[in-house]
Structure 1
Amino acid sequence: MMSRISRFAAVTVSVAALFAGATLAEAQTRELRYADFGPDRGTRAEAIKWMDAQMRERSGGALGLDVTWGDTLLGAKNAIDGVGNGVADLASVVPVYEPGKLTAWRVSDVRQIADEYVGMMATYELMTQNEGASANFAEQGVQYIANFTTGPTQLLSREPITTLAELDGKKIRATGNFGKSFEANGAAAVSMSQPDVYQALSTGTIDGTAAYAYVIDSYKQYEVASNLTTIDMGQNLGWGIVMNARSWSSLTPEQQTMMTELGRDVTLYLAQKMYESRTEIMQKLREGIDGNTIAEHEGDEGMKKALIDSAEEAGMSWLQGAKDQGLDADGLLAAFDEAVVKYKNDLEAQGYPWAKQ
């Protein structure tokens, strides 16, 4: 019979082996460098952290992410080049900030789609199944992984703006196709970063801003502008996660399959979180935050249609630029429109997939 000392020694050896095994497993985890130019907060950051946790779980601890936030590793204007050159294994990228790169992705910003699920899943499907899009990513030395979104664009203003007549002459913070749309409909588009919008609204430098729910909340813009007009101008969908092509090739076939499935799940996860976040934020604004409440207005159909039509017309300038790069722009746009119809029909018939859980 084993003595007490022998049993103690056996237990000690077992515990030591257990800790050694855990340490060895941790040492064997390959942490892929991820560069994100944004802060370590908000819904998008939450999705990246969820991706890391899921990657570790689904790979049995073999893969994980080492995330660098802010502009420390790569900024918004050099992220595509950086991840393509291997500065990071994965990165959050925005093609509009790096003209001429990943142009196929920007097809998703031509149309004005207000629903997160429809827009994100249609974009994901196109980027993963269209040969022209895949080739465009390969040219930059990257692999498409997942999609992000800003959520739908509305109009936050100091005074109510619900008609084209009320919009005329107003100074509105807006960029890209949104800015061109406001300009085409009588407003003066002003370009500035989100951190500057609060002060500009407060002083009257601008009369309003093309805004997203999470931006109104996180930058506390509700303190200086109390009118929110529904215009549903759509989302910025041409951005998300890409992976260095060499890093992708270094994965096992099983890991590549896992990453493909995870990329779709991350896209769907973020669509749900952005939808829920928008809904929750709007409810908070209605009820009031620190004594500040938002008055909601519905833009009249004439204004909404004019702004949406002008934004899509501005977006069509993408077409010629894509053709100049040798892309089948007409085919990409037709395929994207088809995917949008598919997911709109799916939503109407079955509702949001997360509502079934």
Structure 2
Amino acid sequence: MSNTTRRTALGLAGAATLAAPAVLRAQETRTWRMVTSWPRDLPGPGMNARRLAERIGQMSGGRLVVKLYSAGELVPALQVFDAVYSGTAEMAHSASLYWTGKARAAAFFTTIPFGLTPQEHIAWIEHGGGQELWDELYEPFGIKPFMAGSSGMQMGGWFRKPLQGLADLDGLKIRAVGLSADLFRRLGALPVVLGVPDIYAALQTGAVDGVEFLGPSSDRAQGFQQVASHYYWPTFTKPNGTAECLVSRGAWDGLPPDLRAVIANACAAENQFTLTESDWRNAEALEALVGGGGVQLHPWPGDIVAAARLAAEDLLAAFDAAGGIDARIHDSYVAARRRAQLWARASTRAYLEARGVA
């Protein structure tokens, strides 16, 4: 072997030696913990979280395995944000409206009273600057957020007794979270913050008089119709139901670019799948509840809706007055809602009126 050939062979061998650890690192299997705010396999968000974990594993070819913990298995339902912040878990699946005590404007990234519809919300996050503001809001906590599911349009809530008007809300105990709780308080009710696993028992025992949760499919799965027969529409506190995936910034930064893309795309795919699933299953569930489930469907009394709209304006104005990131999120969101108004009237609303009940 000539000296030139020998040097070439040694150079190739050295390059292979240097490249091998990088290849091994790229193929390394990681196992992450995902904590959730939902009972295991709860129709809607519980199944949403499970599918997300499975999508990530499948799309990564098994290089990123996500072990799922339902509410209470590793941490309580309303402590999943802290679990990611502290490093107890690398990921969480929850809803941002639970974290208004930590970051007041977090509620905007799930829903706010009289806010964006599900499709309008996605448009704001993906095209109107919402994602960048969300990232900035959670940055002090070392958390990267993604949309990762949507329970779609919500219902107004379940009540043990019918509501005739605004006076009936006075002193009424209602399970509500986020800005919904603040709004009901302004209407005279007494909001009670409860994690999902605790809601049914509270309604059954009378610890609360009413419950605001999700849409008909998830509500029926919780069994609320067994202890409260009065179901109100439309929602005015929660017109959207975006769930979030929370990822530890430290864990995120430690991923190679392709696995970051896996997480981002798995979240986007699950977000769209869950939104369409919600529409399909909510239609089925509402028909079953009203058709043979003994549920009485009521529109909100007009004076409650009118008072709620005024109260919501005052509630949201406080974000603008606060300045800083809260004001910028408020202003961006309100601008997106204003932008959507004319198109909504000319498209969805006009078409549904033209289509009629058929």
Q: Do they superpose with TM above 0.5?
A: yes
Q: Please report how far the alpha carbon of residue 340 of structure 1 lies from its aligned counterpart in structure 2 after TM superposition.
A: 4.2
- Name the structure 1 match of 2:220: 217
Higher mean displacement: 258-267 or 173-182? 173-182
Could you state the TM-score of these two structures normalised by the residue count of structure 2?
0.72
1:32/1:309 CA distance change after superposition, 3 Å = same
The answer to whether the Cα contact below 8 Å between 2:233 and 2:298 also exists between their aligned partners in 1 is: yes
- Name the structure 2 match of 1:17: none
- Name the structure 2 match of 1:84: 85
> Match for 1:112 among 106, 111, 114?
114
1:332 matches 2:349 = no
The answer to whether the Cα contact below 8 Å between 2:200 and 2:222 also exists between their aligned partners in 1 is: yes
- Name the structure 2 match of 1:268: 272
Q: Helix, strand or coil: the match of 1:161?
A: coil
Q: Please report how far the alpha carbon of residue 46 of structure 1 lies from its aligned counterpart in structure 2 after TM superposition.
A: 1.5
Q: Helix, strand or coil: the match of 1:334?
A: helix
- Name the structure 2 match of 1:47: 48
Supply the AA of the counterpart residue of 1:135.
E
- Name the structure 1 match of 2:124: 122
Q: Please report how far the alpha carbon of residue 315 of structure 1 lies from its aligned counterpart in structure 2 after TM superposition.
A: 4.4
Structure 1 runs not aligned, ≥5 long: 1-23, 352-357
1:282 matches 2:286 = yes
Q: Please report how far the alpha carbon of residue 58 of structure 1 lies from its aligned counterpart in structure 2 after TM superposition.
A: 2.6
User: What's the CA shift string for 1:82-110, capped at 9, x where partnerless?
Assistant: 21333222112455555564545333444
Q: Helix, strand or coil: the match of 2:212?
A: strand
1:115/1:281 CA distance change after superposition, 3 Å = farther
Q: Calculate percent identity across the aligned residue pairs.
A: 20
- Name the structure 2 match of 1:208: 210
1:35 matches 2:38 = no
Q: Please report how far the alpha carbon of residue 143 of structure 1 lies from its aligned counterpart in structure 2 after TM superposition.
A: 1.3
Q: Helix, strand or coil: the match of 2:68?
A: strand
- Name the structure 2 match of 1:72: 73
Q: CA RMSD in A?
A: 3.6
User: What's the CA shift string for 1:33-74, capped at 9, x where partnerless?
Assistant: 212232211211222222233223333332231112222333
The answer to whether the Cα contact below 8 Å between 1:170 and 1:188 also exists between their aligned partners in 2 is: yes
User: What's the CA shift string for 1:319-347, capped at 9, x where partnerless?
Assistant: 455x3xx42x3322222234445667489
Alignment of 1:1-357 (within 5 A): 29-42=29-42, 43-95=44-96, 97-98=98-99, 101-108=102-109, 109-113=111-115, 115-120=117-122, 122-123=124-125, 129-130=131-132, 132-148=133-149, 151-167=153-169, 170-189=172-191, 198=200, 206-212=208-214, 213-214=216-217, 216-235=219-238, 240-288=244-292, 292-320=293-321, 323=323, 326-327=324-325, 329-340=326-337, 345=343, 349=347
Quote the Cα distance in structure 2 between the aligned partners of 1:347 and 1:162. Answer: 30
1:53/1:230 CA distance change after superposition, 3 Å = same
User: What's the CA shift string for 1:303-332, capped at 9, x where partnerless?
Assistant: 2232243245334444455x3xx42x3322
Q: Please report how far the alpha carbon of residue 199 of structure 1 lies from its aligned counterpart in structure 2 after TM superposition.
A: 5.7
Q: Helix, strand or coil: the match of 2:76?
A: coil
The answer to whether the Cα contact below 8 Å between 2:147 and 2:242 also exists between their aligned partners in 1 is: no
1:182/1:120 CA distance change after superposition, 3 Å = same
Q: Please report how far the alpha carbon of residue 276 of structure 1 lies from its aligned counterpart in structure 2 after TM superposition.
A: 2.6
Could you state the TM-score of these two structures normalised by the residue count of structure 1?
0.72
Supply the AA of the counterpart residue of 1:286.
V
Q: Helix, strand or coil: the match of 2:38?
A: coil
The answer to whether the Cα contact below 8 Å between 1:117 and 1:268 also exists between their aligned partners in 2 is: no
The answer to whether the Cα contact below 8 Å between 2:32 and 2:67 also exists between their aligned partners in 1 is: yes
1:177/1:164 CA distance change after superposition, 3 Å = same
1:36/1:121 CA distance change after superposition, 3 Å = farther
Supply the AA of the counterpart residue of 1:265.
A
Supply the AA of the counterpart residue of 1:334.
D
